[in-house]
Amino acid sequence: MRTQVAIIGAGPAGLLLGQLLTRAGIDNLILEQRTPEYVLGRIRAGVLEQGAVDLLDEAGVGARLHAEGLVHGGIEISWAGGRHRIDLNGLIGGKHVVVYGQTEVTRDLMEARAASGAPSVYEAEDARVQGIDGERPSVRYRHRGEARTLECDFVAGCDGFHGVCRQSVPASSLRTYERVYPFGWLGVLADVPPVSAELIYASHERGFALCSMRSRTRSRYYLQCTLAERVEEWPDERFWAELVRRLDPRAAADLVTGPSIEKSIAPLRSFVAEPMRCGRLFLAGDAAHIVPPTGAKGLNLAASDVRYLFDALLAHYRHGRDEGLNAYSERALRRVWKAERFSWWMTLLLHRFPDHGPFGDKIQLAELQYLFDSRAAQAVLAENYVGLPY
């Protein structure tokens, strides 16, 4: 088989790139190790920057997002028994974010791809990327017990942190940067109305908490926990009781609880691989970088990677120009590192770090007080939260 662009990974990055390429008349094929049901079953965040929303519109999959997504013009930070609103809309000229679950983004993209007839191969096993330094790269894999080879012009590595694409880059050509945080997030999904119309980020002496949502009837809540803890140690009753302890009195009184429909613990890390290109292999999304979820940047960084890569491939195929391909890694990494900085700062601002000590606790307190007292500091937070320009 042959295609112009082989896309490894059917998460949002791979599906979005494939949708844009298909609409532009550029042949592509998506290879995915898992089943469609598994891909759709992954629970992820869903705070979208305007740039991501615009790109989904360009891909022709924005109708349900605009019908069901929740437009948020601010966020709230709970601290010392009170709540402080960061007016995203007012601070930076009418900008906002849209809450729409990553699962729903994936579903919309899957349905659009099926309707277009563009090919996808699920349960593609033992994928190996070859020949990326030459003119004719290929991907070898097994499907239903049969060995297959996909020849292509370019490979887009959208297969996540544990995927094969980054592992296909020679170690001598790749440099990685990583920080692993000494805690995780225990997340619960429940069919209960959100406790607030906007997200609440809670800084508390018992640990961080986040009140988020997926819709007007489905909520997503998180608690900071140790990496030694297990989901089985957190029955619903214990989770809700602990969440109440970490919220301000008004939110605690308004909280509606109910049985969880999903519960998991996710470790937090910051990770970047440089460069994001090796020959004819281009990394995008979690294959190249991971951010702690505090700043809501994971899916949005994947979208900006796709923006840069799609524009570069379009210029190559339509005009024979490769400046965009040559500049892809540098351009994407500039935005990646700014998002890494913001996500690191938000994590540092709101979580309890076991090794901070009294001095670190005082610095965190001063940082919060400065944020609430300074409109300029709030504007910096708002500018980064709604998303820096592409």
Place of tokens 């292509």: 152
Q: Please state, in angstroms and rounded to a whole number, the distance separating the CA atoms of residues 38 and 34.
A: 6
Please give the positions annotated as active site: 72, 201, 293, 297, 385
Omega before 354 within 30 of 0, i.e. cis: no
**Whose CA is closest to 20, among 358, 385, 317?**
317
Please give the angle made by the CA atoms of 135, 305 and 132, to the nearest 5 degrees. Answer: 20
b/e code 304-326 from CB counts within 10 Å (16+ = b): bbbbbbbbbbbebbeeeeeebbe
Cα dihedral 178, 264, 283, 274 in deg (nearest 10): 0
Q: Please state, in angstroms and rounded to a whole number, the distance separating the CA atoms of residues 174 and 34.
A: 27
| Cβ atoms of 29 and 14 closer than 8 Å | no
